Structure 1
Amino acid sequence: MVVPSSKVASVFRAGLFKDRVAIVTGGGTGIGKAIALELLYLGCKVMIASRKTEQLEKASVEMCKQIDRQGRGPAQLHHVQCNIRKEEQVKNLMSATLSTYGKIDFLVNNGGGQFPSAAANISLKGWNAVVETNLTGTFLCCREVYNQWMQEHGGIIVNIIADMWKGFPSMSHTGAARSAVDNLTKSLAIEWASDGVRVNSVAPGSSIYSETAAANYGDFNIFSRNIPSVPAKRLGTTEEVSAAVCFLLSPAASFISGETLKVDAGSSIYPSMTWTIPEHKKLPAYRWDDDDDGTSGSQNTPKSKL
């Protein structure tokens, strides 16, 4: 399994994001924490948000210590409790960031959640919870950062989605929601271009390992199951996703908008990783028999004439 390093590093030059301000939702764990940490390392002022205050406080202490140990501190890091499904809490996240830092240059919509389940077993409550978090929550954050700041001052938004390009069997709720965010990204990139706002997405592969994701999936060991289907034949790291996000936030991506960058080692064009179809004969091929009236044969071998 991938063991995260305690050392913060970046391929980008020191001070790249000096005096910039970023919001990272879901910034207390996993991919979001890696993104927040690299932004801090590069001189950015960061506001992290999550539903769980205790998680945010713990992450803030850890990140500040890491940045300080490497002589990059003191880290300019604050946190706000925010359930991105709640409109008023999202509005407060934006206003609190403006009150703290005076501006918002970057928004990274990393907050989200899902659980493994066959589609037939997903309750309406479970479906709504995932769609409202991953799709509606992302929309609310985009809308509010635009209305409260970026419409007048410009900015950059990066949405974190998922590897749902071949469907998402075993997690159809998040596949549907993340696919919608991919489309939302394209729509906002066009609507807000004249205001100086760039909007892109990053799609981490299912093989990106984090302790948080591993704990959430429990016995559904998605990571060990995935390795044979990853062209790189290894798991990805949260830092590899963070580097992609920082690229899209950087001046190097100034002419890129409305796009989704896949961080999956090519897995999205390789066979499905989350679902194995057993051998069966329940989807027969169309048949034509000249001497048949179309009524014979087994139930699994339909025949037809035009």
Structure 2
Amino acid sequence: MSRLDGKSAIVTGGGSGIGRAVCARFAADGATVVVADVDGERATAVAAEIGGRAVQADVTVAADVARMVADAGRVDVLVNNAGGGMSDDVLEIDEEEWEHDVALNLKSAFLCSKAVLPGMIERGGGVIVNIASVNGLAFFANEPYSAAKAGVINLTRSMAVRYGHHGIRAVAIAPGTIRTPIWQERVEKVPEIFEKLLRWYPLGRVGEPEDVAAAAAFLASDDASWISGEVLRVDGGLLAGNAQMARELVADFEDAE
């Protein structure tokens, strides 16, 4: 018996990157997967690959979310993965950019969670997996995105506490740098960017979408039945400490002796 046999899941932003990997992993682990994406063609392509169903939906729009959940039917697991953002310094961004990033990353998680919760409450259980970010736990620039991801983490904890007595678990994953299409676009502009990043990661590599998918599959499964309100960092050790800083500090002290 596979880990997610008999489970029905919606994965938002399932047409590429982390979402695509989550869809593939969930399907391999036995789940029936609804691939939701604002790009209907991408959703259809992934659904065809994994034997799932595709739904085109803009998860920042309540009507689209309601249609998505109605089309899905029973939802045992919701993965709020849709997100992204390229805005940076508070002094440089405008109100529209701020609202876009907050809507895409935080409002979407709120709308989708609100839509599936009544069914989960009625059935006496369910799992909501929110894809947050290390940006929600520490400063890595991209202020609107980071603020929204911090909100996702708090929303996760709130739902875990408020709905736990219904048998509903809410958990979050905070990935570090993951080799997604967005990062590949950055590599095209700055080819050496990954090499520069490696010095900050104790494991010496950036993450792959499959690293996050493996964590999501575990958290969505009964193996994690007593884990709720947790934020699992999938970050190659990034937030455990700064090895480069430690080496430089030690070197400075040694030079001073």
Output the TM-score relative to the length of structure 2.
Answer: 0.88
In the TM superposition, residue 272 of structure 1 has moved relative to its aligned partner by 11
CA distance in 2, matches of 1:266, 1:34: 21
Which residue pairs with 2:248 in the alignment?
none
Which residue pairs with 1:37 in the alignment?
24
The counterpart of 2:59, out of the listed 72, 75, 84, is 84
Which residue pairs with 1:262 in the alignment?
233
Contact 2:87 2:93 in 1 (8 A): no
Which residue pairs with 2:209 in the alignment?
238
CA distance in 2, matches of 1:130, 1:136: 9
The counterpart of 2:185, out of the listed 204, 210, 215, is 215
Count of residue pairs the alignment pairs up: 241
Output the TM-score relative to the length of structure 1.
Answer: 0.75
Higher relative contact order (CA 8 A, sep 6+): 2
In the TM superposition, residue 218 of structure 1 has moved relative to its aligned partner by 5.5
The counterpart of 1:151, out of the listed 111, 121, 130, is 121
1:167-186 aligned within 5 A: 167-169=139-141, 171-186=142-157
CA distance in 2, matches of 1:272, 1:87: 44
Which residue pairs with 2:247 in the alignment?
none
CA distance in 2, matches of 1:49, 1:199: 20
In the TM superposition, residue 121 of structure 1 has moved relative to its aligned partner by 1.5
Equivalent position SS for 2:160: helix
> Residue deviations 1:246-281, cap 9 Å, x none?
1111111111100100001210233499xxxxxxxx
Contact 1:28 1:50 in 2 (8 A): yes
By percentage of residues, which structure has more helix? 2
Q: Specify the structure having the higher radius of gyration (Cα).
A: 1
Contact 1:116 1:220 in 2 (8 A): no
In the TM superposition, residue 238 of structure 1 has moved relative to its aligned partner by 1.0
Aligned-residue RMSD, C-alpha: 1.9
Where in structure 2 are there 5+ consecutive unaligned residues?
Answer: 245-257
The counterpart of 1:93, out of the listed 48, 51, 68, is 68
The counterpart of 1:58, out of the listed 42, 45, 48, is 45
Contact 1:29 1:212 in 2 (8 A): no
**2:121 maps to 1:138:** no
CA distance in 1, matches of 2:97, 2:148: 13
Gap change, CA 1:125 and 1:218, over 3 Å in 2 = farther
**2:220 maps to 1:249:** yes
